[in-house]
């Protein structure tokens, strides 16, 4: 028996001190990819590289039962202003280590050893999937096209994130 497609409600957050709605290429790519896959973008925002502002927005979204997944872009590098992983990691109930590992493995094919500078992160908080991606448009394409698109599709086998969504809050 084949599963039916189930749309996922996704919130998108661009973390940047310089991006605006006009020049947020990564946010635009993610939004278009999500919509092209027939999912719903339920909120989209841009926030400065500030740990507490990032954490505040992500926390609000995690507490919203209508949001099933959050994707952030930006703030995952190594500079002093890059704090997205630190902002999000403390909110996670479980980390999905394989996401960052697979993302860097796939990225290596394009950017070689530069992928080591990526601190891409995946996890679950209060039943909400959260994925923190680098800020480049290429990284957003890679993460969505090569990983997230299939995992947010209930028809993907042998397993996918959508199948887990009703069970994430089990104790």
Measured between alpha carbons, how far is 168 from 110 in angstroms, rounded to an integer?
Answer: 34
Bridge-based pairing of strands 94-95 and 121-125 is: antiparallel
Q: With respect to residue 112, please indicate whether it lies within any of the assigned structural domains.
A: yes
Q: With respect to residue 80, please indicate whether it lies within any of the assigned structural domains.
A: yes
What's this model's pTM, rounded to 2 decimal places? 0.96
Q: With respect to residue 148, please indicate whether it lies within any of the assigned structural domains.
A: yes
Bridge-based pairing of strands 69-73 and 9-15 is: parallel
Domain of 20, CATH number, reads: 3.40.980.10
Domain of 104, in residue numbers:
9-166
Specify the residue for token string 């890679």. 142
User: Which has the higher per-residue pLDDT, 169 or 162?
Assistant: 162
Q: With respect to residue 1, please indicate whether it lies within any of the assigned structural domains.
A: no
Q: What is the pLDDT of residues 6-22, one digit of tens each?
A: 999 999 999 999 999 99
15: nearest Cα among 67, 101, 87, 118: 87
Q: With respect to residue 29, please indicate whether it lies within any of the assigned structural domains.
A: yes
Q: With respect to residue 94, please indicate whether it lies within any of the assigned structural domains.
A: yes
What residue ranges in 16-95 does DSSP mark as E strands?
A: 40-47, 69-73, 94-95
Residue 142 predicted with pLDDT over 70: yes
Bridge-based pairing of strands 128-133 and 121-125 is: antiparallel
Q: What is the pLDDT of residues 58-115, one digit of tens each?
A: 999 999 999 999 999 999 988 888 999 999 999 999 999 999 999 999 999 988 998 8
How many domains in the chain?
1
Q: With respect to residue 2, please indicate whether it lies within any of the assigned structural domains.
A: no
- What's the pLDDT at 167? 81
């Amino acid at each position: 028996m084949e599963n039916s497609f189930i749309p996922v409600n996704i919130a998108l957050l661009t973390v940047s001190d310089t991006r605006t709605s006009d020049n947020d290429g990564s946010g635009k790519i993610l939004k278009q990819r999500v919509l092209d896959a027939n999912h719903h973008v339920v909120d989209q925002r841009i926030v400065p590289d500030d740990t507490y502002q990032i954490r505040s927005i992500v926390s609000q979204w995690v507490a919203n039962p209508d949001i099933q997944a959050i994707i952030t872009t930006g703030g995952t590098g190594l500079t002093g202003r890059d704090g997205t992983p630190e902002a999000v990691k403390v909110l996670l109930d479980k980390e999905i280590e394989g996401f960052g590992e697979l993302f860097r493995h796939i990225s290596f094919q394009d950017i070689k050893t530069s992928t080591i500078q990526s601190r891409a992160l995946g996890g679950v908080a209060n039943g909400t999937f959260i994925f923190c991606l680098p800020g480049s448009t290429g990284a957003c394409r890679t993460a969505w096209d090569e990983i997230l698109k299939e995992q947010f599709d209930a028809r993907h086998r042998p397993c996918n994130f959508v199948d887990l969504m009703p069970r994430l809050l089990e104790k």
